[in-house]
Structure 1
Amino acid sequence: MTNQNVVASSEVKPLNFNTLFVMAASISNSNSPLLTNEAVQEPLAMLGGLLSLSQRNVMKRLEGKKVNNWVDSLRASSPTRAKSGNQEKSAWNLYHPSALDMFDQIISNSKGKQIVTFLDYDGTLSPIVADPDKAYMSTKMKGTLKEIARHFPTAIVTGRCIDKVYNFVRLARVYYAGSHGMDIKGPTKNRSHEKGNNGKAMLFQPASQFLPMIDEVYKILQEKTKSVPGAMVENNKFCLSVHFRCVDEKSWAPLAEQVRLVINEYPKLKLTQGRKVLEIRPTIKWDKGKALEFLLQSLGYDNSNEVFPIYIGDDRTDEDAFKVLRSRGQGIGILVSRFPKETDASYTLEDPSEVEQFLRRLVEWKRSALTSV
């Protein structure tokens, strides 16, 4: 986004067909403030998904950007507001088909390789809820996840702190990568499908030196956000989350400004945006993609052609993992979303219920393969 101040006329003239095409042709390389105009969004949504595919350009990092511009971009891209027509969705699905529809092809591509599953938590294994402390998995998902972990090396890669997500999952044989991969712990028991495990618990914390700073900023933000009803600051150990899902939209800008002013005093921390959440993280070069690579290496599959990673996630932070899989040229990324958006994932699933169906089919396929041997 640019920092230009745009004065829009109160009277919006109808857009003709040629004008729309001119706008669409430049939209992927443009940060035009026109994208925040609702009168423009609806016709653009009919142009094969071009609006949704430009959203990443609109939703730039908060650092150094005007808060009002950020709020406008958030409104324009919010799933509750997105005007995703059938044509847009169909065009998007041509490039990102359903992982359920393509299940047989996915299994065919994994032939002769070890499948390793990487799963985000919120919005993937559990639904997105107003209270993060109540983001429980369904009973069916719990059972399916247990079976997945029994048959495949499995990791939960989340922005949550490990202790919180473990309280939701409670599976000892699963790897946990919390704080967007900055806090990684592994199983303590040897398992036959792990090549590199020597029976010892794995612990990796590349941002441990930032703990005092994170705790300090957490206390400051708790105090600063008290005046914003519905705002919630969550301490995820190596990162912080400022949730505004329950905040009135009119208060988004003041809240974002308060958070930005605090983080400006800490140059070693960065501020990014997720699904109705502001994320504060150390500036180290570490993310979910790096965590994926570290876990594959720990499992003994570094630079190996014998592995087929499957990463499923719904958040912008999961894109780092999708990019890693594309650059490695192995495995697949699956984006969980009902709405078209730009992504490096190869396939899509609409919601946690479809994630459960996909994982259950993986389990059933594995059982069938074992009995046929």
Structure 2
Amino acid sequence: MTQQNVVVSDTKSGVSLTVFSTTQKPPAAPGGYISIPRRRVLKNLEINGGQRINAWVESMRASSPTHHKSTPSLSQEHNSWILHHPSALDMFDQIIDASKGKQIVMFLDYDGTLSPIVDDPDRAFMSDSMRKTVRKLARCFPTAIVTGRCKDKVYNFVRLAELYYAGSHGMDIKGPTRSSKYNKDSKAEAILCQPASDFLPMIDEVYQQLVEKTKSTPGALVENNKFCLSVHFRCVDEKKWSELARQVKSVLKEYPKLRLTQGRKVLEIRPTIKWDKGKALEFLLESLGLANCSDVFPVYIGDDRSDEDAFKKLRDRGQGFGILVSKFPKDTSASYSLQEPNEVMNFLQRLVEWKHVSLRARS
């Protein structure tokens, strides 16, 4: 990474971004907007299209799998799914073989990947052992946290200055503030990328309206993630989901430049710019000087629907792979799977151990 300003343009999306140090003013937001296809109901919910509320609720259920009773048919489905998305722990040796001679770059979601999913999002703490593992990982490979959370909030959870952080689904990116072997030239000057900065007043306005509108629904929680909003319904009685959907829709119908997507028991509201976790992954590779390298091996680990954009980006690039964290079969573009954060930690620990062994073998 250099200390100069670098303009990164994406002709397909119409988005231009500037990499700059923390002492400079953020760039203006890009002007490109995305269309939301009707066929993708389970990913992007229509706000002004007259879609029935019960379709919203069905989509909310589909995006929030719960524990199922074990039946022969479900076991068969799971076994079939595992054949196509085998455990990254079981396939570790094959993964390492594919990465040999290449620069591994790690991209990690936070909630449900590095920390367990909890009822109160403000208490999604990562364990000390996970933090220790991620610190060791960052000493071996360039490492980024890519999350729907506010960047500053997830930094307070992780507290590792040597990482890259991409908050708000990649719309708020900051580089390491502590020098490491992968950012020595930057002299701790952090890169910044904020492609949705013009939306901040709108996001704040919608946040206030949603807080007011949803306060009558017990358990509903609206979280301001700076460049996007999250309406958590994990603690809302399922009988109240229709009511919550109506409340959210009544606010968003006045804001056509915002779109609504879903995660695990959460509704996500974000700008309709052509930006997602996949774009953030590309931006970070560009910042590392690895975007056009044939010997780069990106690994993205995540559990949520928004991580699919990054999984698909890796498939399109034909480099590296995605790992989905899930106990249940899901449609995914990830190549491998892990069941829970403890398995993620085990996988990361094995990567670190392999790196140490390979370095000793060279010396």
Under a length normalisation based on structure 1, what TM-score does the superposition of the two structures give? 0.82
1:61 aligns with 2:13: no
CA 1:172–1:320 in 2, change beyond 3 Å: closer, same or farther?
Answer: same
Task: State the distance in 2 between where 1:313 and 1:209 align.
Answer: 28
From 229, 232, 241, the counterpart of 1:240? 229
1:132 aligns with 2:121: yes
Q: Which amino acid aligns with 1:131?
A: D
Shift of 1:82: 4.3
Partner of 1:71: 57
Partner of 1:264: 253
Q: Percent identity?
A: 71
Q: What do the CA deviations read for 1:54-88 (whole angstroms, capped 9, x no partner)?
A: xx967242213322122134335642154662211
CA 1:263–1:361 in 2, change beyond 3 Å: closer, same or farther?
Answer: same
- Counterparts of 1:292-371 in structure 2, within 5 Å, are 292-371=281-360
Task: State the distance in 1 between where 2:184 and 2:300 align.
Answer: 20
The number of equivalent residue pairs is 318
Q: What do the CA deviations read for 1:113-152 (whole angstroms, capped 9, x no partner)?
A: 1111000000000000000000011222111111111111
Which consecutive residues of structure 2, in runs of 5 or more, have no partner in the other structure?
1-38
Task: State the distance in 2 between where 1:198 and 1:82 align.
Answer: 51
Shift of 1:372: 1.3
Structure with greater helix share of residues: 1
Higher relative contact order (CA 8 A, sep 6+): 2
Q: After TM superposition, where is structure 1 displaced by more than 6 Å over at least 4 residues in a row?
A: none
Under a length normalisation based on structure 2, what TM-score does the superposition of the two structures give? 0.84
Which consecutive residues of structure 1, in runs of 5 or more, have no partner in the other structure?
1-55
Shift of 1:312: 0.1
Task: State the distance in 2 between where 1:67 and 1:179 align.
Answer: 26
Q: Return the index of the structure with the highest Cα Rg.
A: 1
Partner of 1:227: 216
From 143, 163, 181, the counterpart of 2:132? 143
Q: Which amino acid aligns with 1:369?
A: S
Shift of 1:196: 7.2
From 135, 155, 164, the counterpart of 2:153? 164
User: What value does the CA root-mean-square deviation take over the aligned residues?
Assistant: 1.7
Partner of 2:24: none
CA 1:328–1:240 in 2, change beyond 3 Å: closer, same or farther?
Answer: same
Matched-pair contact (CA < 8 Å) for 1:181–1:287 = yes
Partner of 2:106: 117
Task: State the distance in 2 between where 1:77 and 1:282 align.
Answer: 20
Task: State the distance in 2 between where 1:72 and 1:214 align.
Answer: 26
